[in-house]
Structure 1
Amino acid sequence: MEYVPNIIFAIILIIGIGYFARNVKKLIRNIKLGQDLDVSDDKPQRWKNMSRIALGQSKMVKRPIAGFLHVVVYVGFVIINIEVLEIIIDGVFGTHRIFSKIGSLYGILIGTFEILAILVLVAVILFWLRRNVIKLKRFLSTEMKGWPKSDGNIILYFEVVLMCLFLTMNATDLQFQAMDSGNVISQFIAPWFNGFSESTIHLIERSAWWIHIIGILAFLNYLYFSKHLHILLAFPNTYYGKLTPKGQFPNLEAVTKEVKMMMDPNVDPFAAPPEGAEPEMPAKFGASDVQDLSWVNLLNAYTCTECGRCTSECPANQTGKKLSPRKIMMDTRDRLEEVGKNIDANNGEFKDDGKQLLGDYITNEEIWACTTCNACVEACPVSIDPLNIIMQMRQYLVMEKSAAPMELNNMMTNIENNGAPWPYNQQDRLNWKNE
């Protein structure tokens, strides 16, 4: 019977980590549904971006208040959970505060954790007030109704409960309080329990300990279903982020080669291709569904924090257009999840469900509202690129469906006929100088 708690703890730990590993495997599977994209260039710069943006939170602090609060929660929550390692060792082997053997350094560590726990509580409460009382405009968009709104609050409640359990666990640990080292906050909470018997205090401490570790495992597995998956994915996403200038769009190699051939007077357009040459035209121009996007686009979708900075900076959105870069990313993620569930339900094969990202989730009106100004890309704190997805869907509409807006079709016709976007004969293009 002595080892029963350790066995129960090990079983809970295995189940929690096992379920998390299962979801990570599914996550990787879904991301790999995207098209291959070579992002192996300039690794030093990529490591630098990841260190600066994901680890250093450099883009978060561009908005000082939200940025500072986020850094507090980020640093506090990550560092405090270092103690999880001690909890796991204690739980598996039946020890108690195994790291206390390192002496005074242990008190410094736990003291730092307790101070951070209070700072996290303050920051989380302020985040809750901004979201639910002050009601910042970027949290009230159409796409932030229902689950996205609830998710934002649930994670705050999670953090409050975990921080309170951590402090309660320390305050009711009589052995830890007797050390009088590291209990910089919990020493003021401990007197709340003076009226209880020693056995009751021990029961409270053990209850807080168990609920704390179970809560952390629950939080870990909740991440897959939450926008807070960015806690894990911000690092690879910033590493694989775009390195080329924001105004530079990629060219389709097949189209580039065809244009060059058309402009080469030495090329016979009716000549048969060289023997053994394979056609290089892609199966589809642009993207109409998530499988047509690159795996980096899909990683972007899963990394989206739903913070709304992109949408709040979007000039199209500010002038009342339906476009919301945040919604583009949320829709891409939702469609990808739907495709993943389709594959799970059909023994690893995707069965055509008659749906696609473009049309069923994202409308033509949304993507044509984009001004391609890159404001959303610049604003994103974790290097997400909604514009790349928008441009691929535009490309699909133009090159596969000939479904460009009339204004764009007129412009392209003018360029083809007159060498300029305006409906003037080439001989008349300079007449404006005389006006």
Structure 2
Amino acid sequence: MNYIPNILFAIVLVLGIGYFAKNVKKLIRNIKLGQDVDTSDNTSQRWKNMAMIALGQSKMVKRPVAGFLHIIVYLGFIIINLEVLEIILDGLFSGVIYENHRLFASILPTSVYGFLIGSFEILAVLVFVSVIIFWIRRNIIKVRRFWMAEMTSWPKSDANYILYIEMILMGLFLLMNATDLRFQAMESGNIISQFLAPFFSGLPDGTIHMIERGAWWLHIIGILGFLNYLYFSKHLHILLAFPNTYYGKVKPKGGFDNLESVTNEVKMMMDPTVDHFAAQPESAEAPAKFGASDVQDLSWVQLLNAYTCTECGRCTSECPANQTGKKLSPRKIMMDTRDRLEEVGKNIDANNGTFKEDGKQLLDNYITREELWACTTCNACVEACPVSIDPMSIIMEMRRYLVMEQSAAPMELNNMMANIENNGAPWPYNQMDRLNWKDEA
């Protein structure tokens, strides 16, 4: 018996999955470069968030057109790719353990298998149409958020590459079914591909079989290629949206994280029973660095956020600073963080697992101070993100570094903090003069 196709398929499968596993290992390594953070709280709420946001797409539908089309593509790929299981089993065992190259057609009732194939084909067409509409919105209508300054050549090309790949995969799926229709009895199946079958009706069985095998091979190679392309694409969110929504912020969006060492020091300063001139007991150990100037200073959740970014631009389109012409774009903050993290990862790879100082950092080399101070901390970007990314937390950590490590806050902010320290309020008035306004009434 000829097992060469099975051997070739096994090699392709091992290479495809092996390269994917290598990239996943690198991805996890890079994310772990971040600082540790406790995510063990509110477990039930985290599971609920993951179910509602990542699985249920609840935040996508806030923009109905894009949300509805995204759900079609999302469900289509999940359901249609159930057939990938059959393709893998057929590639490995067809002709070895069983003869028919469609295993499920042999073990399922004809009507059931036909119903499944028919459902898959309808979804494939819906996905194809949705992808075309996405392409039109991006390239012909040119929705503004897809054409902002940070959307340079690669982000634009990457988005279109994904759309082309999806169209090709759906086309190959339908072609595979249309050419296999002559050899398979699928009652009520091939709802769509039956209309393609007449184009091949005049061809001999051997030629039809070669076309079907070619579409079959291209389909599975395309899927493995797409899987490995994800690491280099904004579509990595297909995999990371689930952990990202689970580890996303569950506390009120208006709350800020306080440093324990600073909190303890402020409490001591405000305690009237404390002798401030006496030696004080050791308190919580202060961090080696306040805030963040590079990706290693951020938490691993923030780095996970960066890899999960879909580059959809909803955050930037909702940002009031961006709307008023400021340089800030929350999407760019996430893209810059991911690009710098990738640069650090390549540095580690090139230096046998250790990071060699390269004279660069996230602050200034990627994200400017003007961008950081333009943020109004309104949380609009956090609320808008369909996969629970928090750009504002990165902005605030970098601001913390500027203020506490470099004393580099804008003059207006420095004046306010000086007034609070000297007058107990942000206004430049002596405490004894605060009520003078009432005498003017």
Q: What band does the TM-score fall into relative to the shorter chain?
A: over 0.9
Which residue in 2 is equivalent to 1:68?
68
Alignment partners' CA distance in 2, 1:231 and 1:432: 59
- 1:125 counterpart = 2:132: yes
Structure 2 SS opposite 1:58: coil
Alignment partners' CA distance in 1, 2:16 and 2:205: 32
Alignment partners' CA distance in 2, 1:78 and 1:339: 33
Which residue in 2 is equivalent to 1:51?
51
- 1:211 counterpart = 2:218: yes
Alpha carbons of structure 1 residues 339 and 98: separation in structure 2 relative to 1, 3 Å: same
Contact 1:166 1:208 in 2 (8 A): yes
Name the stretch that deviates more: 49-58 or 101-110: 101-110
Which residue in 2 is equivalent to 1:6?
6
Alpha carbons of structure 1 residues 161 and 329: separation in structure 2 relative to 1, 3 Å: same
1:297-339 deviation per Cα after TM superposition (whole angstroms, max 9, x unaligned): 0000000000000000000000000000000000000000000
Alignment partners' CA distance in 2, 1:193 and 1:270: 93
Contact 1:107 1:181 in 2 (8 A): yes
- 1:236 counterpart = 2:259: no
Contact 2:305 2:334 in 1 (8 A): yes
Contact 1:170 1:177 in 2 (8 A): no
Alignment partners' CA distance in 2, 1:186 and 1:279: 68
Equivalent residue in structure 1 for 2:272, among 265, 270, 273: 265
Which residue in 2 is equivalent to 1:396?
401
Equivalent residue in structure 2 for 1:295, among 289, 297, 300: 300
Contact 1:237 1:303 in 2 (8 A): yes
- 1:135 counterpart = 2:130: no
CA apart distance, 1:411: 0.6
Alpha carbons of structure 1 residues 432 and 353: separation in structure 2 relative to 1, 3 Å: same
- 1:321 counterpart = 2:334: no
Structure 1: unaligned runs, 5 residues or longer: none
CA apart distance, 1:269: 3.5
Alignment partners' CA distance in 1, 2:277 and 2:35: 32
Equivalent residue in structure 1 for 2:155, among 148, 154, 157: 148
Equivalent residue in structure 1 for 2:108, among 102, 119, 122: 102
Structure 1 SS opposite 2:38: coil
1:110-147 deviation per Cα after TM superposition (whole angstroms, max 9, x unaligned): 11110000000000000000000000100111110110
Contact 1:171 1:177 in 2 (8 A): no
1:38-87 deviation per Cα after TM superposition (whole angstroms, max 9, x unaligned): 01111111100000000000000000000000000000011101100000
CA apart distance, 1:176: 5.4
Structure 2: unaligned runs, 5 residues or longer: 95-99
Letter of the 1:360 counterpart: N
Which residue in 1 is equivalent to 2:167?
160
1:144-193 deviation per Cα after TM superposition (whole angstroms, max 9, x unaligned): 01100100000000000000000000000035553343211111111111
Contact 1:177 1:183 in 2 (8 A): no
Which residue in 2 is equivalent to 1:354?
359
1:325-371 deviation per Cα after TM superposition (whole angstroms, max 9, x unaligned): 00000000000000000000000000000100011000000000000
Equivalent residue in structure 2 for 1:174, among 181, 187, 192: 181
Runs of 4+ in 1 over 6 A off after TM superposition: none
CA apart distance, 1:428: 1.7
Alignment partners' CA distance in 2, 1:285 and 1:411: 21
Name the stretch that deviates more: 174-183 or 149-158: 174-183
1:14-61 deviation per Cα after TM superposition (whole angstroms, max 9, x unaligned): 000000000000000000000000011111111000000000000000
Contact 2:72 2:126 in 1 (8 A): yes
CA apart distance, 1:88: 0.2
- 1:309 counterpart = 2:314: yes
User: Normalised by the size of structure 1, how large is the TM-score?
Assistant: 0.97
Which residue in 2 is equivalent to 1:387?
392
1:208-265 deviation per Cα after TM superposition (whole angstroms, max 9, x unaligned): 0000000000000000000000000000000001011111111111100011111223
Which residue in 1 is equivalent to 2:195?
188
CA apart distance, 1:270: 4.5
Alignment partners' CA distance in 2, 1:28 and 1:430: 58
Equivalent residue in structure 1 for 2:414, among 409, 413, 418: 409
Alignment partners' CA distance in 1, 2:267 and 2:150: 44
Name the stretch that deviates more: 193-202 or 128-137: 193-202
CA RMSD of aligned residues (A): 1.2
Name the stretch that deviates more: 419-428 or 332-341: 419-428
Letter of the 2:373 counterpart: W
Determine what percentage of the aligned residue pairs are the same residue.
Answer: 78
Contact 2:264 2:284 in 1 (8 A): no
Alignment partners' CA distance in 1, 2:56 and 2:234: 20
Which residue in 1 is equivalent to 2:16?
16
Alignment partners' CA distance in 1, 2:149 and 2:205: 53
Structure 1 SS opposite 2:292: coil
CA apart distance, 1:425: 1.3
1:369-411 deviation per Cα after TM superposition (whole angstroms, max 9, x unaligned): 0000000000000000000000000000000000000000011
